[in-house]
Every structure is written in structure tokens, then in C-alpha cells.
């Protein structure tokens, strides 16, 4: 009647192997299945433009351009008060290329 | 030297203050400037003035007064004071230039491809690198109708366009607007209005000095080819270095020769004219450009109230005899 302890040991080994197998399965599942889940979650999200892309880039431009022609006055006005650059003295022999003190420029319009 | 040093030390120490307002109107960058220490109240109203004038005078707005007038050929139309005043200004410019500058070339400028605001032209040439060898459209002799072909009534302020004629005030309207805005603004102090390069000046700066105005170098963007010292006057530049485009494979610009009905074939790249007011300066610059360097300079020098600075295609510069007064 001495065989009982041996069969009990075998059962313990089987239980241990089964537990290790379950742990390994769960570990591998978490290791490989998790990225797949996140990837599928990303693909399920509705497509959105990158945050850096300005909304104006995907809007039709024709209408705003016409609108600018109609109300060009309002949005782009900037008033500044400034101390003028020291004036260059009038000099008939100037080289013509200066103009550091010029207020503005006449050009073809 | 000592006396000079003492005088300098006693000079009032208040700084020169220029109040500037930049905005867009009439397809151009606009600049309004008042020279005074405290903030000018009317300066912020300038864009509204231009908006009102543009709504009346623009050929690019389908609901402008000018567009409506151009659609009612053969019928008398009562017009606003604004349009009437600009019409009279255009008439003066046409008489002064013997018909070289006329607003009756609407069909010609549209035929050349300028049928929408310049910023929206598909084949515009933004870079100001002139190419003298570029072909210009073939000249075909056409006749443009003068403004005298238009029936107008001063007392009722009505205009009757002949059938087939349309008006395009173009630079005349811009010069008129700059002059009118300057007149309104000068109550605030010495004022300057720059309407896309057409500049109206009310008088000397607050300290009595002249305003320094650069003449744009057509070969180097942003640089000056000359500096002018100006008091009460107008100054304007016309040329083919800007507002150029390709149409049917041919180089075009916006200054139409009324004798040909096509962009003027000129050996000039730009013409700058100083005149008693900016409206005259604009018309004179355009006329001189159409005439070309030789005849254009003669035309300017025959009128002592005008001063001209020309830049030729090859980069050479010509000055009228009285130019030294402003350099």
C-alpha cells in the first residue's frame, strides 16, 4: 500500500503544469493581443485632419476671396504709433539707393 | 560750429510721431499716415471711406454702381456724387493727356485678359523681373471712343453711355480716392495717403521737413532706386513691372494704348511723376509711359508743374530738368 504518495505527486505536477500553461497563455495573450486591440481601435476612429492643418486649407477658397473684395477694410487694419527713424538729410549727391528714413514707396500700381 | 551746437541743444525734444494705418482696398495695400503726437481720431475711419468709394467705383463688383452703369448702355442713369466726381476727374485726365488716358477702354483691358481682380488672374507674373525680349501682343489699330461720346448732364448728374461702351476708372479712381482721403485727414495734422503707390501728401511734416518717399527699384523688390523729398503734392508711378500676366501665351500688362487697343509697347519700365495732386500725377505717369522715353520726357518737360523720373527697360534712368528740386 505504498503507491498513494507517488500518484498524489503526479497530480501535483499536472496541476502545476496546467497552472503554468494558463499563466503563459494569458501572458502571451496580453503581449500580442493588446496592440492588435489598439490598432483596431485606431482604425475605428473617424478620420480627422491633423491638428496642425489650418481649417481654412480644407475650405473652398473662392467664396472667402470674393468676400475679401467686398470687405477688405475690416480685419487687417493695424494702427501703430512709432518714433520715426532719424531722417536722412537731403543730399543732391545721394546714391539713390538709400532711403532709411522713407515713409513709404511709390511703385507701379 | 559752437552756435550750431547750442541751437541743437535747445531744439524741442518731442519725438516725431507717425500714426500709420495699413489696410487693403481696391486690390492694393493702402497706407494712411498722420504726423502728430496724439492719436488722430479720423485715421480709423479711412478704410470705411475707401470701402464706400470702392462699392461705387469698382468694375469687379457685380453690384457696384459702376457695374450697373455699364449694364445700362443707351439709357440715362443718375449717378452718385462719388461716381460723378470721378467721371469729371477722368474727363480732365483725358483732356490733359490728349486722350492717352481714358476710362473708355474697358473692352480692351478685358480682351487682354484682365477680366477679374488681379490677385485672381491665373497667369499673373508676380515677380518683377522684366524681360524686354518678351513678346507683346500684336498691335491692331483700333479706335477707342472718347469720353465726349458720352452724353452727360451736369444739373441732373446723369450719364448716358453709348451702346457698346463700358467705363473702367482704374488708376483714376485710386488717385481720386487717395486725394479725397488726404483732404479729409489733413484736419488731423500733416497727412499722407498711399493708395498702392499713388501717394497724396497734404503738406510738410509737423516739424516743417519734407516727407521722404522712395521710388521702388523695379529690378530689386523692396529697394529704392531714388528718394524724393516732398511737401504738398501727389506722386504716382506707372509701369509694366507689376500687374503683368500671360494671356494666350502673350505677355500683357494693364496700361492700354488707346491707339492700338492693346498693352502699350513702351521702352519704359516705370515712370514716376510728381504733380500738384496725385490725380494729375497718375494720369501724367501713364501718358508718359505710353509715349515712351523720348516723347514722354518731352511731354513732361513741356509742363513745368510736372517732374518725371523714368526707368527704361535696360535699367537706364532719365530725369526731367526740374527733378533736382525733389532729390
Residues 4-23 of A with CB under 8 A from B: none
Query: How many angstroms separate the CA atoms of B26 and B60, rounded?
Result: 10
ipTM: 0.75
Q: Do B17 and A109 touch (CB under 8 A)?
A: no
Task: Say yes or no: B221 contacts chain A, CB-CB below 8 A.
Answer: no
- Nearest Cα of chain B lies from the Cα of A51 at a distance, in angstroms, of 29
Residue A42 has pLDDT above 70, yes or no: no
CA B149 to centroid of chain Cα atoms: 24
Task: Say yes or no: B50 contacts chain A, CB-CB below 8 A.
Answer: yes
**Would you say B66 and B167 are in contact if contact means Cβ atoms under 8 Å apart?**
yes
Per-residue pLDDT of A54-86, as tens digits, reads 444 434 333 333 334 444 444 444 455 544 444
Average pLDDT over residues A32-55: 47
pLDDT at residue B245, as a whole number: 59
Q: Do A84 and B272 touch (CB under 8 A)?
A: no
* Block mean pLDDT (10 aa), chain B, length 327: 34 63 92 93 95 91 90 88 94 90 71 60 52 40 62 90 84 94 96 95 95 94 93 94 66 75 84 96 95 94 96 93 94
pLDDT at residue B80, as a whole number: 95
Select from A77, A88, A106 the residue whose CB has the most chain B CBs within 10 Å, as the one to mutate to test that interface.
A106
Q: Do B227 and A94 touch (CB under 8 A)?
A: yes
pLDDT at residue A30, as a whole number: 83
CATH fold for the domain made of B18-125+160-326: T-fold (3.10.520)
Spell out the domain ranges in chain B.
Answer: 18-125+160-326
pLDDT at residue B316, as a whole number: 93
Query: How many angstroms separate the CA atoms of B90 and B258, rounded?
Result: 14
DSSP output for B182-227: HHHHGGGSSEEEEETTEEEE-SS-TTSPPEEEEEE-TTSTT-EEEE
Residue A35 has pLDDT above 70, yes or no: no
pLDDT at residue A100, as a whole number: 61
pLDDT at residue B174, as a whole number: 94
Average pLDDT over residues A5-23: 83
Which residues, 6+ apart, have CB-to-CB distance to B229 below 8 Å? A90, B210, B211, B212, B213, B326, B327
- Measured between CB atoms, which of B197, B210, B226 is closest to A109? B197
- Backbone phi, psi, residue B306, to 5°: -110, 150
Q: Do B197 and A107 touch (CB under 8 A)?
A: yes
Q: Do B235 and A71 touch (CB under 8 A)?
A: no
Residue A47 has pLDDT above 70, yes or no: no
Cell of B73: 448702355
Report residue A2's pLDDT band, with 50, 70 and 90 as the boundaries: low
Q: Do A69 and B60 touch (CB under 8 A)?
A: yes
pLDDT at residue B120, as a whole number: 62
Query: How many angstroms separate the CA atoms of B65 and B61, rounded?
Result: 9
Could you list the beta-strand ranges (E) of A1-109: 78-83, 104-106
Instruction: Give the C-alpha distances (Å, rounded to integers) separating A42 from A45, A48, A49, A52, B190.
Output: 5, 11, 14, 19, 64
Q: Do A108 and B241 touch (CB under 8 A)?
A: yes
pLDDT at residue B254, as a whole number: 72
- CA end-to-end span of chain B: 27
Task: Say yes or no: B94 contacts chain A, CB-CB below 8 A.
Answer: no
Amino acid at each position: 500500500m505504498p503507491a498513494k504518495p507517488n500518484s498524489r505527486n503526479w497530480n501535483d505536477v499536472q496541476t502545476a503544469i496546467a497552472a503554468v500553461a494558463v499563466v503563459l497563455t494569458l501572458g502571451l495573450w496580453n503581449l500580442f493581443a493588446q496592440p492588435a486591440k489598439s490598432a483596431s481601435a485606431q482604425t475605428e476612429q473617424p478620420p480627422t485632419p491633423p491638428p496642425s492643418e489650418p481649417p481654412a486649407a480644407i475650405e473652398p477658397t473662392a467664396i472667402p476671396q470674393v468676400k475679401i473684395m467686398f470687405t477688405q477694410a475690416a480685419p487687417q487694419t493695424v494702427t501703430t504709433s512709432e518714433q520715426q527713424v532719424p531722417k536722412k538729410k537731403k543730399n543732391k549727391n545721394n546714391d539713390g539707393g538709400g532711403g532709411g528714413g522713407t515713409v513709404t514707396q511709390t511703385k507701379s500700381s | 560750429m559752437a552756435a550750431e551746437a547750442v541751437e541743437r541743444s535747445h531744439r524741442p525734444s518731442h519725438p516725431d510721431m507717425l500714426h500709420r494705418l495699413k489696410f487693403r482696398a481696391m486690390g492694393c495695400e493702402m497706407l494712411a499716415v498722420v504726423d502728430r503726437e496724439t492719436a488722430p481720431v479720423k485715421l480709423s475711419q479711412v478704410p470705411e471711406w475707401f470701402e464706400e468709394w470702392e462699392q461705387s467705383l469698382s468694375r469687379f463688383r457685380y453690384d457696384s454702381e459702376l457695374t450697373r452703369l455699364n449694364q445700362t448702355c443707351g439709357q440715362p442713369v443718375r449717378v452718385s456724387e462719388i461716381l460723378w466726381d470721378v467721371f469729371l476727374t477722368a474727363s480732365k485726365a483725358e483732356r490733359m493727356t490728349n486722350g492717352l488716358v481714358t476710362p473708355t477702354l474697358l473692352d480692351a483691358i478685358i480682351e487682354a485678359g484682365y477680366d477679374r481682380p488681379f490677385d485672381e488672374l491665373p497667369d499673373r507674373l508676380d515677380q518683377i523681373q522684366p524681360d524686354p525680349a518678351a513678346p507683346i501682343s500684336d498691335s491692331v489699330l483700333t479706335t477707342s471712343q472718347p469720353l465726349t461720346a458720352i452724353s452727360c448732364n451736369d444739373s441732373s448728374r446723369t450719364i448716358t453711355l453709348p451702346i457698346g461702351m463700358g467705363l473702367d476708372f482704374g488708376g483714376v479712381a485710386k488717385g481720386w480716392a487717395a486725394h479725397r482721403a488726404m483732404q479729409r485727414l489733413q484736419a488731423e495734422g500733416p497727412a499722407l495717403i498711399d493708395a498702392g503707390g499713388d501717394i497724396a501728401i497734404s503738406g510738410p511734416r509737423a516739424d516743417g521737413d519734407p516727407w521722404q518717399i522712395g521710388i521702388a527699384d523695379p529690378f530689386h523688390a523692396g529697394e529704392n532706386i531714388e528718394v524724393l523729398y516732398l511737401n504738398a503734392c501727389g506722386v504716382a508711378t506707372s509701369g509694366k513691372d507689376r500687374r503683368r500676366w500671360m494671356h494666350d501665351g502673350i505677355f500683357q500688362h494693364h496700361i492700354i494704348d488707346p491707339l492700338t487697343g492693346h498693352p502699350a509697347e513702351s521702352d519704359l519700365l516705370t515712370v514716376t511723376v510728381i504733380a500738384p495732386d496725385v490725380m494729375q500725377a497718375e494720369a501724367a505717369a501713364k501718358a508718359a509711359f505710353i509715349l515712351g522715353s523720348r516723347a514722354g520726357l518731352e511731354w513732361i518737360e513741356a509742363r513745368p508743374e510736372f517732374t518725371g523720373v523714368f526707368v527704361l527697360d535696360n535699367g537706364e534712368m532719365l530725369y526731367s530738368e526740374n527733378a533736382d528740386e525733389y532729390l
